[in-house]
């Protein structure tokens, strides 16, 4: 959902006394940020080589929360709430 659409819906809801209980954000989990100093690693995604030249398994450092990560929902929430309270 685009920010302008969200603001318009929130304005209509507030003006009519309605409550907004559920929102559907497209790719919302990809918009979150990891906390400073938080380091998360995962296995190589499908389609990538899972072993390095030395035969050891490859792992990847995650730079942004991705869908399916246990932390992704909370990180998105920490990104969204300050934005909402500013408006």
Distance from C-alpha of 15 to C-alpha of 1, rounded to nearest angstrom: 20
Q: Dihedral (C-alpha) 52, 58, 63, 69: value to the nearest 10 degrees?
A: 150
- Report helix, strand or coil for 62: strand
**pLDDT tens figures, 61-71:** 888 777 777 77
**pLDDT tens figures, 6-46:** 788 888 888 998 888 776 666 666 677 777 888 888 888 88
Q: Which two tokens stand for residue 5?
A: 């659409």
């Amino acid at each position: 959902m685009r920010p302008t659409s969200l603001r318009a819906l929130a304005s209509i809801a507030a003006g009519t006394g309605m409550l907004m209980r559920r929102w559907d954000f497209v790719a919302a989990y990809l918009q979150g940020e990891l906390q400073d100093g938080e380091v998360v690693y995962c296995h190589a995604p499908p389609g990538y080589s899972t072993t390095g030249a030395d035969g050891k398994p490859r792992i990847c450092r995650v730079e942004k929360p991705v869908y399916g990560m246990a932390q992704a929902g909370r990180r998105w929430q920490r990104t969204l709430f300050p934005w909402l309270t500013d408006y």
